Every structure is written in C-alpha cells, then in structure tokens.
C-alpha cells in the first residue's frame, strides 16, 4: 500500500444534507462480485439524466471541476445502506477525501478502512470551504494527514483523527493481520464465553442442522 501523507487537489461542492449511499452508488451497480467497475455508478442519478446524458449543471460534469479529488459535503454524509460500494466508487472516480460537518457511522468505518479520508469540521468552516469550492479559480485544498491540518483559500483548520486511523493512512495497516495477532486471546475468550453460555456456541450451524432434520 502507498502511504498517504498529503492530499491536494480541486474541491467540488455537494451541498446535499443526508446524502445517502443509495444516491452515492445506486442499487443497479451492486450486482458485481468484485469491487471494480463502479466509476460510472458514482452519484449516477445526479450525474446523468434519464437518457444517460450528463446533467450539464451538475458539479462533477462542469469542466472546471474535472479531476476534483476532494468533495465538500453536508451533514450526515453517507447515511443509509451499509454498502461499501459507495466508498469504492468515490475512490475509483478519483476522490481521496470528503470534508463535511458529520458522517454516518458505517460509511465512516468503510471509508477509513479503504483510506478514503473523511474530515469532519464545524459547520461554519464547511460553509467557507463550500464558498471557496464554488469559485473554480480558488478551489484548491491541501490536507496534511501527518499534521492533521487543512488549508483552502480562506480556511486554515486543524482536524481530529484517531491515532489508529492516522497510522492506517501514514503506514498502511492490515487490520485483519493485526487482529490475528490476538488469535489465542480470541480462542480462549470464546471458550470461556461458551462455557458460561453454551447456548451461544455454533448457533447458526446447530440451527441449520435442526431445520434440516
């Protein structure tokens, strides 16, 4: 994995509250068995009209926002369905970061696990970032992950990031590999847990067996 120390690029404003993952990646693009091929699906119904032609007014279709790599969103960004396809689609399209006042929980974990950086900032800083992003001449944003700072034309901010997530961005981190170092603890936890509550062991397998009998 390549480390992500800074993210720098053009920001696109998307001022839609409660932007749900159904809109970020509609259902018809969830039929794959791998993660690929999601670029076309990203924000599909906002980007394309019913005939499949680009909606000319939509921010991502305007030439001045071509190659935008940072999205400025509104509150509760990524709410709704747990589909990780929404995150894969944003990355495949070329986004590296989303900045918004708040993010939905599952979306937040999904994004960080895929190293799509989410930055939560107070509403008034988002409002200024949104204004900067509205002016294509001045819509560069620079995010320093190491220093946890963010800079645009009129915003100079620091942001919170959990040390665990920061490490994931700076060093790349195999979460599963790390958790597997606890393998013995997990096994002994489970044995103790099941000794006290035997009705929790192999619930799925035993239920399936009973229903098949």
Phi/psi zone of residue 148: left (φ > 0), alpha (ψ -120 to 50 degrees), beta? left
> Would you tell me which residues interact with other proteins (CB under 8 A)?
15-18, 20, 22-23, 26-27, 30-35, 45, 50, 74-76, 79-84, 87, 102, 104-106, 109-110, 113-114, 127, 162-164, 175-176, 179-180, 182-183, 185-187, 189-190, 193, 196-208, 210-211
Residue 5 C-beta: closest distance to other proteins, Å: 22
Residue 152 C-beta: closest distance to other proteins, Å: 18
Cβ neighbours for 51, distance < 8 A, ≥ 6 positions apart: none
Nearest to 126, CA basis, from 157, 101, 108, 109: 101
Query: Which residue lies nearer to other proteins by CB, 80 or 136?
Result: 80
Residue 167 C-beta: closest distance to other proteins, Å: 10
Dihedral through CA 25, CA 27, CA 28, CA 30, nearest 10?
80
Nearest to 24, CA basis, from 95, 120, 101: 95
Residue 4 C-beta: closest distance to other proteins, Å: 16
Residue 189 C-beta: closest distance to other proteins, Å: 5
Indicate the helix (H) or strand (E) that contains 98.
Answer: strand 97-100
Query: Which residue lies nearer to other proteins by CB, 9 or 73?
Result: 73
Query: Which residue lies nearer to other proteins by CB, 36 or 67?
Result: 36
Query: Which residue lies nearer to other proteins by CB, 34 or 57?
Result: 34
Nearest to 71, CA basis, from 157, 136, 129: 129
Query: Which residue lies nearer to other proteins by CB, 87 or 133?
Result: 87
For residue 181, give the DSSP letter: T
Query: Which residue lies nearer to other proteins by CB, 34 or 137?
Result: 34
Q: For residue 19, give the 3-state DSSP assignment.
A: coil
Cα separation, 79 vs 170, whole angstroms: 27
Residue 37 C-beta: closest distance to other proteins, Å: 10
Cβ neighbours for 168, distance < 8 A, ≥ 6 positions apart: 112, 113, 115, 175
């Amino acid at each position: 994995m390549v480390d992500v120390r800074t993210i720098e690029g053009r920001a696109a404003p998307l001022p839609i509250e409660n932007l749900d993952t159904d809109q970020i990646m509609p259902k018809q693009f969830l039929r794959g068995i791998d993660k690929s091929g999601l670029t076309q699906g990203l924000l599909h119904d906002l980007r394309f009209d019913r005939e499949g032609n680009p909606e000319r007014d939509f921010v991502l279709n305007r030439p001045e926002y071509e190659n935008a790599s940072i999205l400025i969103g509104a509150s509760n960004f990524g709410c709704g369905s747990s589909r990780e396809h929404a995150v894969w689609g944003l990355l495949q399209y070329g986004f590296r970061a989303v900045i918004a006042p708040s993010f939905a929980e599952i979306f937040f974990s999904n994004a960080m696990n895929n190293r799509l950086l989410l930055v939560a900032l107070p509403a008034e800083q988002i409002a200024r970032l949104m204004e900067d992003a509205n002016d294509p001449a001045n819509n560069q944003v620079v995010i320093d992950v190491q220093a946890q700072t963010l800079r645009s034309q009129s915003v100079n901010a620091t942001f919170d990031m959990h040390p665990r997530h920061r490490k994931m961005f700076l060093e790349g981190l195999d979460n599963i590999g790390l958790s597997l170092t606890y393998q013995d603890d997990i096994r002994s936890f489970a044995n103790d847990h099941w000794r006290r509550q035997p009705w929790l062991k192999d619930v799925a397998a035993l239920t399936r067996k009973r229903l098949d009998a």
